[in-house]
Amino acid sequence: MGTEMRMEADEPDAGTPRLEVGAGLEGVLRRTYGGRLEGVLRALTRPPSEYAIRVNTLKTTAERVAEEFGAMGVRCGRSAILEEAVVIYPGEPRAVERRGKMVVVDKFAAESVMLGSKLYEPGILRSERVAPGDEVFMADPRGHIVGTGIARFSSARRHTAGIAVDTRESVYSLPPVRESRLFGDGEIQEQSLPAMVTSRVLDPQPSDVVVDLCAAPGNKCTHVAQIQGDRGLIYAFEHSPKRLRRMRGEIRRLGIRSIRTAQRDSRYIDRDFPELRADRVLVDPPCTALGVRPKLYEEAAPSEVESCAAYQKQFLRVAARIVKKGGTVVYSTCTLPAEEDEAVVGYALDELGLELDRQSPAVGGPGIGGGRLGAAQRFDPDVSDTPGYFIAKFVRP
Ligand SMILES: C[S@@+](CC[C@H](N)C(=O)[O-])C[C@H]1O[C@@H](n2cnc3c(N)ncnc32)[C@H](O)[C@@H]1O
């Protein structure tokens, strides 16, 4: 797979709405994008034209998955970039009319419903008086209507989990992937294309010891296991007990045996496990997630960009300590500001003694700033038909 591949997005037309962001965050993004910012903000309001799904090649093939989706009536195809990916098409956006009673949902739930997901109880912020069977429409806190459907919940007796609304109409119409047999039997995983590229760039060999410092919900480490044919040894560390439980469920669902999980603050892994030495380390830390699309609006403050960047550096410091000489560290984020991407890479080069390595597959564009940062891989939503993403690959000399 050593070829250079680019995925070009169609330039969003002038009629595409511009993402609502605060003035402070706009200033941060302008530092990264300059005159390109308008195109970036417009692209973020729309999903990529292909929604990627990873096939669990330990259990099946992309061909069989594409066939089964096709038999379900889902418009789907093989990815032109990764053999383990299939893609489904969210189609063009539709205006959704208010119908029935109003349910106001949080931004996260609204962005899922917008794509066609059902509404789950924890996403409800408030509603009119609703009984099971009522027709409802769902709106985000700023009043954008994202879908209509039939309520399963009662506003008089709210639960903490479970499906609250069966979505009937939504802005985009992705099929309910998580309710499919393929998902239930662990044959597929929802994962963006750049996220899959990250594990490919790590290039794990079958007998490698791999450490994932920020592992839940386990998308990348389960992909790494798949690439290794489930024959390696992966230590997947995660700080949040709730997210760790979810990851363990995902590992079971996918039928993977080579991952050892532990609840840890990974900033101290070198101290907790002084003997631990890894061939490859994955650093996929918390970030401001500004590349996730489609977005209804964005509320992150510039201070969050700064605090994420400071946090991200701490994981890279540990990665540089536990990786073997000649070993690989891959750093990734699903965000856009250079402060969390190229500047963190600069820290790893200048302060940690790591060196940038060439990436394969090369699907995105080069890092901003040129020079040595050209070896990083950036997926900018105005030019890549993918979520916004950043990947850097290092070697420890
Ligand atoms: C971007 S997510 C990782 C996604 C994951 N790599 C995947 O592909 O599914 C970042 C994760 O880091 C975890 N995290 C945050 N601080 C941490 C810490 N100090 N130590 C370990 N994990 C941490 C978060 O709870 C979150 O699950």
Q: Residue 176's pLDDT is what?
A: 85
41 within some domain? no
214 within some domain? yes
Using a pLDDT cut of 70, give the percent of the chain over it: 96
Residue 3 — pLDDT band, cuts 50, 70, 90?
A: very low
Instruction: Return the CATH number at 120.
Output: 2.30.130.10
Mean pLDDT of the chain: 94
> Taking 60 as the threshold, does the pLDDT of residue 12 lie above it?
no
User: Which atom from ligand 1 is nearest to the alpha carbon of 240?
Assistant: 25
In terms of domains, do 136 and 266 share one? no
Using a 6 Å cutoff on CB, does residue 258 contact ligand 1? no
The string of pLDDT tens digits covering residues 155-180 is: 988 777 799 999 999 999 898 898 89
In terms of domains, do 159 and 199 share one? no
53 within some domain? no
Chain CA centroid to CA 163, Å? 23
In terms of domains, do 163 and 271 share one? no
Please report where in the chains the tokens 């010891």 appear, as a residue: 209
Residue bearing the CA closest to ligand 1, atom 16 = 239
In terms of domains, do 310 and 250 share one? yes
Number of domains in the chain: 2
Q: How far is the CA of 214 from the centre of ligand 1 (A)?
A: 4
Residue 9 — pLDDT band, cuts 50, 70, 90?
A: low
In terms of domains, do 163 and 240 share one? no
In terms of domains, do 369 and 267 share one? yes
Q: Tokens at residue 304, please?
A: 């969050």
Among residues 170, 202, 219, which one ends one of the domains?
170
In terms of domains, do 129 and 222 share one? no
Instruction: Return the CATH number at 286.
Output: 3.40.50.150
Residues 313, 193: Cα–Cα separation, whole Å: 25
90 within some domain? no
377 within some domain? yes
The string of pLDDT tens digits covering residues 17-75 is: 899 999 999 999 999 999 999 999 999 999 999 999 999 999 999 999 999 999 999 99
The string of pLDDT tens digits covering residues 125-152 is: 999 999 999 999 999 999 999 999 999 9
> Taking 70 as the threshold, does the pLDDT of residue 5 lie above it?
no
Residue 7 — pLDDT band, cuts 50, 70, 90?
A: low
Using a 6 Å cutoff on CB, does residue 318 contact ligand 1? no
Q: How far is the CA of 91 from the centre of ligand 1 (A)?
A: 31
User: Which atom from ligand 1 is nearest to the alpha carbon of 217?
Assistant: 9
232 within some domain? yes
pTM of full prediction above 0.85: yes
The three-state secondary structure class of 83 is coil
Residue 117: which of 171, 156, 160 has the closest Cα? 171
Q: Residue 157's pLDDT is what?
A: 80
Q: Which of 214, 248, 341 to mutate to test the pocket of ligand 1 (most atoms within 8 A of CB)?
A: 214
The DSSP call for residue 339 is: T
In terms of domains, do 207 and 246 share one? yes
> Taking 50 as the threshold, does the pLDDT of residue 1 lie above it?
no
Please report where in the chains the tokens 């096939």 appear, as a residue: 55
140 within some domain? yes
In terms of domains, do 228 and 156 share one? no
Residue bearing the CA closest to ligand 1, atom 25 = 240
Q: Residue 161's pLDDT is what?
A: 79
Among residues 113, 137, 170, which one ends one of the domains?
170
In terms of domains, do 163 and 308 share one? no
Among residues 140, 170, 200, which one ends one of the domains?
170
Using a 6 Å cutoff on CB, does residue 214 contact ligand 1? yes
In terms of domains, do 196 and 164 share one? no
The string of pLDDT tens digits covering residues 270-299 is: 999 999 999 999 999 999 999 999 999 999
Query: What is the DSSP secondary-structure string of 263-302?
Result: E--GGGHHHH-TT--EEEEEE------TT-SS-S-B---H
- Sign of the dihedral through C-alpha 344, 346, 351, 356: positive
Q: Tokens at residue 2, please?
A: 């050593």
> Taking 60 as the threshold, does the pLDDT of residue 4 lie above it?
no
> Taking 80 as the threshold, does the pLDDT of residue 2 lie above it?
no
Catalytic residue status for 334: yes
Q: Residue 151's pLDDT is what?
A: 96
Per the structure, the complete domain to which residue 144 belongs is given by 101-170
Q: Which of 238, 243, 256, 283 to mutate to test the pocket of ligand 1 (most atoms within 8 A of CB)?
A: 238
Residue 379: which of 38, 6, 18 has the closest Cα? 6
Q: How far is the CA of 244 from the centre of ligand 1 (A)?
A: 9
Least confident range from 2-11, 226-235, 321-330, 351-360: namely 2-11
Q: How far is the CA of 217 from the centre of ligand 1 (A)?
A: 8
In terms of domains, do 108 and 224 share one? no
Using a 6 Å cutoff on CB, does residue 186 contact ligand 1? no
Using a 6 Å cutoff on CB, does residue 219 contact ligand 1? yes
54 within some domain? no
